[in-house]
């Protein structure tokens, strides 16, 4: 048996990185306590029940990574994709109810699975963070000053029920065939949130999302029957965790000091220490008439630590115009990489700006439409990592750079 050194991606939710809608992007995602309707589905599902009409949010986002490794381009692939949010509120007596679904569809891939040799420097958290689909159905209820939202964030695993590959001699001729039975069971992380508006000038919210990941669990059997060459069975067992998205809890506040101004703040705790090794486990068992087996090696745990992320935002409204800005500090959960692993990472400083207009009903529209644009800049602090001299004499790598993001969205009411 062998255990092989590979590293698979760990990442936040793409919508945490890009924002769900340009209004959220323009305020550094600090809209947990003010989001209502379709844009609330991801940040605070309770806000879905506070909408007054069915809403459709359609958006598109682009993220350009300018990260470096040892001073060279890290060759990250730009991420871009579409967001779609649908919120349907309705009432039963005095109780306001709502249901909705948020979807993020990357333009290039629904998912991308990378396994990188563990001692090769790479951006474990960023290289695939925005390259996966997001689906979040929710329900919400509101009465009085309170609103509650519940839902799930859905992803899938991949598990083999049968994965057989036969190589043999049939009728005197070599021949190979395969039989596959692979299930992709749904993986769900719970979403829950509560919203409270104690006064017209203050709104408070708390949101929780469970841990999510794409787990591969594949057992492959290769039956080999080539007389006078080799006969027997080779078994490959792969266990890996991709798109690890940590459990997180957020609290948010929104203050309305004036009719035309909203100031928000969010604080988010992310449970990165649950990542485990962060590496897949690939084992090969050879039941063949050959010796010796391959040598085993076992990798150390990743030892990521939990982080707390503060974000703040502001929105100013004048007639149909909205201007937004936001900022945040995103610490790194990655410990010093002095050992065999080489996870490039760094604390990030986030600054955002955005604008929107509200097109009022009139001769063309029966309901208002909101059009929003936003730009975001993340600076990943440069770091020079020196390896433990006992493990890798003279070993070192540097990392850092910038991530630029743009977002556009429209919110249509019916």
Partner 1 sequence: MGARHRLSTAIAFGAFCTCWGARASANPFEVLGLTSRHAGQASAAIASVDDAAALYYNPAGLVARPGIELSLGTIGAYAHLEHGGRLADPTGAQLAIRAPLPLAGRWQDRIIIGIALHLLPREVAHIIAPSPDEPYYPYYGDRMSRIVVLPGAAVQLGRLALGASLDVLAGFAGTLDASEGATRAIDARADERIPTAARLIAGATWQATPCLRLGAVVRQHFELAFATSANTTVAGEPIDLDLRAAGLFTPDQLGLGAAWTRGPHVVSIDLREARWSDYRGPFVRVDSRLPLVGDIPALSPRVPFTDTYGARLGIESHVGRWIVRGGYGFETSPVPARQTGVTNLLDGPRHTFALGGGHAWGRIRLDAHVQLQVVQHRELTKLLDDGKHAYDPFTSLRDEDTATPDVQITNPGFPGIRGGGQVVSGGLTMAVAL
Residues 101-160 that bind partner 1 (CB under 8 A): 103, 105-117, 154, 156, 158, 160
CB of 343 to partner 1, least distance (A): 16
Q: How many residues touch partner 1 (CB under 8 A)?
A: 84
Contacts of 379 (CB under 8 A, 6+ apart): 348, 349, 401, 402
CB of 249 to partner 1, least distance (A): 27
CB of 175 to partner 1, least distance (A): 5
Contacts of 383 (CB under 8 A, 6+ apart): 344, 345, 346, 398, 399, 400
Q: Is residue 167 near partner 1 by the rule CB under 8 A?
A: yes
The binder of partner 1 chosen from 73, 177, 388, 389 (CB under 8 A): 177
Q: On the CB side of 364, how many CA atoms lie within 13 Å of its CA?
A: 4
- In DSSP notation, 42-97 reads HH-GGGGGG-SS-EEEEEEEEEEEEEEETTEE--PPPEEEEEEEEEEEEEETTEEE
Nearer to partner 1, 106 or 252 (CB): 106
CB of 363 to partner 1, least distance (A): 6
Q: Is residue 11 near partner 1 by the rule CB under 8 A?
A: no
Q: Which of residues 83-102 bind partner 1 (CB under 8 A)?
A: 84, 86, 88, 90
Nearer to partner 1, 142 or 374 (CB): 142
The binder of partner 1 chosen from 64, 75, 143, 176 (CB under 8 A): 176
Rounded Cα–Cα distance for residues 39 and 409 (Å): 10
List the end-to-end C-alpha distance of the chain, in Å, as a whole number: 60
CB of 15 to partner 1, least distance (A): 17
Q: Which of residues 328-367 bind partner 1 (CB under 8 A)?
A: 361-367
Spatial strand order of the sheet with 281-288 comes to: 158-170, 212-226, 230-245, 281-288
CB of 368 to partner 1, least distance (A): 8
Residues 190-219, one symbol each (x = binds partner 1 by CB under 8 A, - = not), give ----------------------------x-
Q: Please choose, from the candidates 187, 184, 186, 188, the residue with its C-alpha nearest in 3D space to the C-alpha of residue 151.
A: 188
Element (H, E) at 215: strand 212-226
Stretch that binds partner 1, among 173-181, 192-200, 323-331, 387-395 (CB under 8 A): 173-181
In the structure encoding, which two tokens stand for residue 273, read together?
A: 């220490």
Nearer to partner 1, 156 or 347 (CB): 156
Rounded Cα–Cα distance for residues 214 and 191 (Å): 17
Nearer to partner 1, 32 or 128 (CB): 128
Q: Which of residues 218-277 bind partner 1 (CB under 8 A)?
A: 218, 220-222, 224, 226, 229-230, 232, 234-236, 238
What is the number of other CB atoms lying within 10 angstroms of the CB of residue 287?
11
Residues 289-328, one symbol each (x = binds partner 1 by CB under 8 A, - = not), give xx---xxxx-------------------------------
Nearer to partner 1, 182 or 308 (CB): 182
CB of 206 to partner 1, least distance (A): 29
Q: Which of residues 33-72 bind partner 1 (CB under 8 A)?
A: 54, 56
CB of 69 to partner 1, least distance (A): 16
Rounded Cα–Cα distance for residues 398 and 279 (Å): 22
Rounded Cα–Cα distance for residues 344 and 384 (Å): 10
Stretch that binds partner 1, among 35-43, 144-152, 171-179, 307-315 (CB under 8 A): 171-179
Q: Is residue 1 near partner 1 by the rule CB under 8 A?
A: no
Q: Please choose, from the candidates 285, 278, 284, the residue with its C-alpha nearest in 3D space to the C-alpha of residue 299.
A: 278
Rounded Cα–Cα distance for residues 288 and 294 (Å): 13
């Amino acid at each position: 048996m062998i255990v092989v050194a590979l590293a698979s991606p760990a990442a936040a939710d793409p919508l945490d990185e890009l924002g769900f809608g340009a209004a959220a992007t323009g305020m550094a995602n600090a809209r947990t306590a003010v989001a209502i309707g379709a844009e609330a589905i991801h940040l605070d599902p309770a806000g879905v029940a506070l909408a007054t009409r069915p809403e459709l949010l359609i958006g598109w986002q682009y993220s350009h990574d300018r990260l470096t490794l040892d001073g060279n381009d890290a060759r990250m692939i730009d991420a871009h994709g579409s967001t779609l949010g649908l919120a349907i509120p309705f009432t039963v007596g005095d109780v306001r109810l709502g249901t909705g679904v948020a979807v993020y569809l990357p333009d290039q891939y629904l998912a991308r699975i990378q396994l990188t040799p563990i001692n090769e420097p790479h951006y474990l958290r960023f290289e695939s963070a925005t390259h996966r689909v997001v689906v979040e159905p929710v329900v919400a209820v509101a009465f009085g000053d309170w609103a509650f939202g519940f839902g799930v964030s859905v992803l899938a695993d991949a598990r083999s029920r049968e994965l057989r590959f036969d190589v043999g001699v049939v009728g005197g001729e070599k021949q190979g065939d395969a039989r596959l039975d692979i299930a992709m069971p749904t993986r769900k992380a719970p979403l829950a949130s509560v919203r409270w508006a104690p006064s017209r000038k203050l709104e408070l919210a708390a949101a929780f999302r469970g841990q999510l990941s794409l787990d591969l669990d594949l057992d492959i059997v290769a039956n080999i029957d080539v007389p006078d060459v080799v006969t027997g069975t080779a078994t490959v067992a792969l266990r890996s965790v991709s798109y690890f998205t940590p459990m997180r809890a957020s609290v948010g506040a929104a203050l309305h000091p004036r009719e035309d101004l909203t100031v928000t703040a969010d604080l988010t705790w992310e449970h990165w220490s649950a990542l485990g090794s962060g590496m897949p486990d690939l084992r090969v068992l050879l039941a063949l008439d050959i010796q010796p087996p391959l040598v085993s090696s076992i990798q150390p745990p990743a030892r990521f630590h939990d982080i707390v992320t503060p974000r703040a935002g502001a929105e100013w409204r004048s007639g149909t115009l909205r201007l937004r800005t936001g900022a945040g500090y995103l610490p790194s959960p990655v410990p010093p990489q002095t050992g065999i692993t080489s996870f490039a990472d760094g604390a990030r400083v986030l600054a955002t700006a955005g604008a929107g207009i509200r097109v009022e009903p009139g001769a063309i529209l029966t309901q208002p439409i909101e059009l929003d644009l936003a730009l975001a800049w993340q600076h990943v602090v440069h770091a020079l990592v020196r390896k433990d001299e006992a493990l890798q004499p003279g070993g070192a790598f540097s990392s850092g750079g910038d991530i630029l993001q743009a977002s556009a969205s429209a919110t249509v009411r019916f």
